[in-house]
């Protein structure tokens, strides 16, 4: 399996062990028979070029067989180029599988992650921007006009934001810890030109937990998504906002991830026949990552069903500070998304 052949095995948080642990969980007899496997493939040069510069792709291709640092956090090892284009291709296949109706939804459990990768730059453990490549594929190949990307990774997806900053066909919504790497993703970064209002960033102070995320998804993201009417929902699913992650200080539990998944599935049901495809971003507490991925998969499957009561129960924990955050976000987004006015 190519995804585990990228990167040093030890001493780096984005290690092959992350996926090995997830695959072991999926091999378990209580899980293995429940899911359909979607084959992976290499993204083609044309697919990569929809997001990355040709010279950058050549630069990454030239790392094949070598070990070199691409930025202070990001290393290429002998098989990184192959793993990275397979991660992008794996996610494209997940998108195709959902669009064709072969599966109801899909989760690309791939490495390396992608959302920090920019047109001509590897960064933050990311080489090719899988989610952006998947979104461009949905626009180009499936002739979609509206794609929603939801990025709940601990970090702001600066690469994804860059890819669609002036584009209104892709609505990018990110909730992330602030301050944190990479330092972008302020509330006022809202897109440019035709894309103004189609980049939505919610920086959250350390310590945000299930209640705040669920309120944000329910009270801010949901009405906007319903107004936008995406033809597919793509998810940058990072789990470094898990309560015990070594890189983060957020407090999201596996149940919290399941709740966010449920909200997105309900939106997908209302907007686009349930079409949802997720791809793995961060998550460095291996046990927490595995538990959270499991909770998300069972929710995608419909085996657990987070109900309105569970959601309300979670939101009931929202304190005054959280309501202030939501209020401030609403104020910022309302001029671009008047639908938020009705939600008061
Ligand atoms: Zn992250």
Grouping H, G, I as helix, E, B as strand and the rest as coil, residue 71 is strand
**pLDDT string in tens for the chain (344-residue length):** 789 989 876 689 999 999 999 999 999 999 999 999 999 999 999 999 999 999 999 999 999 999 999 999 999 999 999 999 999 999 999 999 999 999 999 999 999 999 999 999 999 999 999 999 999 999 999 999 999 999 999 999 999 999 999 999 999 999 999 999 999 999 999 999 999 999 999 999 999 999 999 999 999 999 999 999 999 999 999 999 999 999 999 999 999 999 999 999 999 999 999 999 999 999 999 999 999 999 999 999 999 888 777 777 777 767 788 889 999 999 999 999 999 997 65
Run of H or E including 235? strand 232-237
- Residue 9 confidence (pLDDT): 63
238 alpha carbon to ligand 1 midpoint, in Å?
6
C-beta of residue 259 within 8 angstroms of C-beta of residue 314: yes
164: CATH: 3.40.800.20
pTM for the predicted model, two decimal places? 0.97
pLDDT at 342: 76
Are the beta carbons of 48 and 85 closer than 8 angstroms?
Answer: yes
| Predicted pLDDT of residue 317 | 66
pLDDT of residue 343: 62
**Token digits of residue 199:** 């980049």
Catalytic residue among 6, 115, 116, 155: 116
Please name the helix (run of DSSP H) or strand (run of DSSP E) that holds residue 74, with its range, or none. strand 74-76
CB 74 within 8 A of CB 127: yes
Residue 148 Cα to ligand 1 midpoint, Å, equals 19
CA–chain centroid gap for 331, Å, is 25
Containing structural domain, residue 80: 2-343
Strand runs labelled E in 152-220: 170-177, 199-204
For residue 283, give Cα distances in angstroms to 144, 156, 202, 236. 30, 14, 19, 12
Determine whether 116 is an active site residue.
Answer: yes
Tell me, in angstroms, the distance from the centre of ligand 1 to residue 162's CA. 17
pLDDT value, residue 8:
73
Residue with tokens 């290429």: 76
What interhelical angle do 286-301 and 254-272 show, nearest 10?
30
Q: How are beta strands 68-71 and 74-76 bridged, if at all?
A: antiparallel
Distance 186 CA to ligand 1 centre (A): 16
Tally of structural domains, the chain: 1
Per DSSP, 154 falls in state S
pLDDT of residue 193: 98
DSSP state of 172: E
Residues in contact with 251: Cβ distance below 8 Å, sequence separation at least 6, in sequence order = 207, 208, 209, 210, 241, 243
Secondary-structure breakdown of the chain: helix, strand, coil percentages, each rounded to the nearest 5: 45, 15, 40
């Amino acid at each position: 399996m190519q995804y585990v052949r990228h990167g040093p095995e030890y001493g780096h948080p984005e290690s092959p062990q992350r996926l090995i642990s997830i695959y072991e969980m999926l091999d378990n007899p209580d899980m293995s028979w429940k899911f359909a496997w979607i084959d992976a493939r290499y993204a083609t040069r044309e697919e990569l070029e929809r997001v990355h510069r040709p010279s950058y792709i050549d630069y990454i291709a030239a790392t094949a067989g070598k070990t070199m640092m691409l930025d202070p956090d990001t290393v290429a090892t002998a098989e990184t180029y192959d793993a990275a284009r397979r991660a992008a291709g794996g996610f494209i296949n997940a998108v195709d599988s959902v669009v064709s109706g072969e599966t109801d939804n899909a989760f690309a459990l791939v490495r390396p992650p992608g959302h920090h990768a920019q047109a001509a730059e590897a960064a933050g453990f990311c080489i090719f921007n899988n989610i952006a490549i998947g979104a461009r594929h949905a626009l180009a190949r499936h002739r979609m006009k509206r794609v929603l990307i939801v990025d709940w990774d601990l970090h702001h997806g600066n690469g994804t934001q860059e890819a669609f900053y002036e584009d209104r066909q892709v609505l990018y919504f990110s909730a992330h810890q602030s301050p944190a790497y990479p330092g972008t993703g302020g509330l006022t970064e809202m897109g440019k030109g035709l894309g103004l209002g189609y980049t939505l960033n919610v920086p959250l102070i350390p310590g945000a937990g299930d209640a705040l995320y669920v309120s944000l998804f329910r009270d801010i993201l949901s009405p906007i998504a319903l107004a936008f009417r995406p033809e597919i929902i793509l998810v940058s699913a990072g789990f470094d906002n898990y309560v015990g992650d070594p890189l983060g200080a957020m407090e999201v539990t596996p149940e919290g991830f399941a709740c966010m998944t449920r909200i997105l599935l309900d939106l997908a049901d209302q907007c686009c026949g349930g079409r949802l495809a997720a791809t793995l971003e961060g998550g460095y507490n291996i046990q927490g990552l595995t538990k959270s991925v499991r909770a998300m998969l069972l929710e995608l499957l419909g085996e657990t069903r987070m109900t309105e009561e569970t959601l309300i129960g979670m939101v009931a924990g929202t304190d005054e500070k959280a309501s202030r955050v939501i209020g401030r976000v609403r104020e910022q987004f309302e001029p671009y998304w008047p639908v938020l006015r009705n939600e008061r």
